[in-house]
Chains A and B, each alone.
Chain A
Amino acid sequence: MSEATIPVQAAAPPRLSEDLVAVGLGLGVFLLALVSLVGADVLGWLVTTSVWTDPSTALAPVSKAYASLGGGGALLVTYLILTAVLSAGAYLLGDDVRRFAFAFTAVFAIAYASWFVGSWAHLAAVTPADQAKFGVSWSLKLTNEGGYVVALLAGLAIANLFPTFAERLRSAVRPELYIKIAIVILGAFIAVTMASKLTLASSLMLRGVAAIIEAYLIYWPIVYLIARKGFGFSREWAAPLASGVSICGVAAAIATGGAIRARPQIPILVSSLVVVFAVIEVLILPFLAQLFISHEPLVAAAWMGLAVKTDGAALAAGGITQSLIQAKAAAEGIAYQPGWMLTVTATVKVFIDVFIGVWAFILAYIWTNHINPRAGAQKARLGEIWERFPKFILGFVATFLVTVALALWTNAGSSGQLTAAIGEANVLRVIFFVLTFFSIGVMSNFRQLWQEGFAKLAAVYLVSLFGFVVWVGFVISWLFFAGVKPPLAS
């Protein structure tokens, strides 16, 4: 994903790019979490939700130090502080702050209510012991991360049944901003997860290289060929479409559109389609993974990273897959250490993201020198690689490296403290995930896309995605990750 996103109507020119705002907010959360290493718990007020049958017992502050707030108080404080901080972000992005704050209030309320509903024991309780503990005779066994699916469905319902309301929410429907902040925080969470098993972790990362080859050198040329030869699309449409299906969805389509000097609306139209199909994938693939390959958790996790487009949807799918497979394993008496599956999905996705700039430069060079060499037209510049580099990844790398260094250089006691500190930041990461899911749903108006004549574009996407992208992704994931299991929880 690069700095490019499906644009939200800005009230003024942005003062900072979305990537830099995301890095600033993500690093801010990370640094506040680290303050607890010196004894000051400054994020303990964040609200968490436990699996519940009695709703009044579900909410609580993440830290006992803030127990006096109670669940409702923690929710209110979390909402107020998030609104204030994200409104500052909206100001930097050139949005109308007042409009953003009102819209965000509704977005937060519905998204968090979805998360709350997803934690209902009938949806979330996993093992027979859990069901007995909560006194429920049946459960969908989604774990409380089933709340992501509830948020997505709520967003879809609003987009398709209440389009006017969806339009009013628009200024706070920013899945790319939310997921980028979450990814920066995720760097620290992944580091804490990996710190105890660095050999396995580094080996898994090396396998991520296969994802780069697959996305850029296998998927892209095949989708481009299908679009051009099979469906007769012009180059201006085929290249952004190939990038949207093959690489990282929205941002790749927009970066490619810029690189080949396509009219700006083309990658945006392609991006709308990417989001819709990503939603469909999120609703199908994790459940297929649980059904058929729950005995190969890391294959399933890598598959989500390779097959599901857009970072938000891919990590969402990784998160759901992790919870579904862990739930199934737990029912069979196997307790995997949490976090490893999401780590593999994130690694695969981040590896793919890193090369968007390089690929866009290659396409820009070919288009401006060979395909469309106009006299006086601006040629491809090497600087475009940096311009299109997704800067939020630098935030991810920074939190990852700092946390690994802290974990390695501290003794076991303070490593426990580090895990607790990052755990508090992770509560916010989960909230940003929920906001992402809900936002993706709100952006997916199926009827509108159909009315705009997307059928043929959708046909290429459908043929490419479910014809080979999903299955080739599965085979490659199997080749590189089969037989490798996450460590067991102690």
Chain B
Amino acid sequence: MPKPDLREATSVHEPLLPIEKKLIGWSLGTGLALLVLLIIINHFVPLG
């Protein structure tokens, strides 16, 4: 297995695949929705 070189990290152009876009989109969407939900819960159930 060739030793990685930092120069190769950006030398090969790899376009974003649909599955990567899905991963990014779903993660962000789910994360933001859950955060909003938690903020609402936090608002109605204040710290004891």
The interface of chain A, by Cβ under 8 A from chain B, is 199-200, 202-204, 207, 209-210, 213-214, 216-218, 220-222, 224-225, 228-229, 231-237, 263, 265-266, 269, 366, 370-371, 452-454, 456-457, 476, 479-480, 483-484
Contacts and interface: CB of A to CB of B under 8 A. Distances in A.
Given A221-B24, A224-B24, A269 B6 contact: yes
Given A217-B32, A221-B27, A263-B2, 7 more contacts: A224-B20, A224-B24, A234-B8, A234-B9, A456-B9, A476-B35, A480-B42
Chain B interface mostly = helix
Nearest to A202: B48
Contact of A266 (B4, B30, B35, B47): B4
A371 B19 contact: yes
A228 B42 CA distance: 35
Given A371-B17, A453-B6, A217 B27 contact: yes
Closest 5 CB pairs of A and B: A217-B31, A199-B48, A221-B27, A221-B24, A237-B9
Contacts of A209: 38
Contacts of B45: 203
Contacts of A233: 9-10
A231 B10 contact: yes
A218 B35 contact: yes
Contacts of A452: 6
A214 B27 CA distance: 10
Given A217-B34, A476-B35, A484-B47, A370 B19 contact: yes
Interface of B: 1-4, 6-10, 12-14, 16-17, 19-20, 23-25, 27-28, 30-32, 34-35, 38-39, 42, 45, 47-48
25 contacts: A202-B48, A213-B34, A216-B31, A217-B28, A217-B30, A217-B34, A218-B35, A220-B27, A224-B23, A225-B24, A228-B14, A228-B20, A232-B13, A233-B10, A234-B8, A234-B9, A234-B14, A263-B2, A263-B3, A371-B19, A454-B6, A456-B6, A457-B6, A457-B9, A479-B39
A237 B12 CA distance: 11
Chain A interface mostly = helix
A227 to B, nearest CB: 9
Contacts of A232: 10, 13
B8 to A, nearest CB: 8
Q: Which of B2, B30, B48 has the most CB of A within 10 A?
A: B48
Contacts of B7: 453
A479 B40 CA distance: 10
Contacts of A213: 31, 34-35, 38
A244 to B, nearest CB: 14
A225 B8 CA distance: 18
B4 A200 contact: no
A209 B41 CA distance: 12
B16 to A, nearest CB: 6
A235 B14 contact: yes
Contacts of A237: 4, 9-10
A214 B4 contact: no
Contacts of B8: 234
Contact of A218 (B6, B13, B20, B28): B28
A213 B27 CA distance: 9
Given A216-B27, A235-B20, A210 B38 contact: yes
B10 to A, nearest CB: 5
Contacts of B16: 228-229
A26 to B, nearest CB: 30
B31 A204 contact: no
A214 B38 CA distance: 11
B33 to A, nearest CB: 9
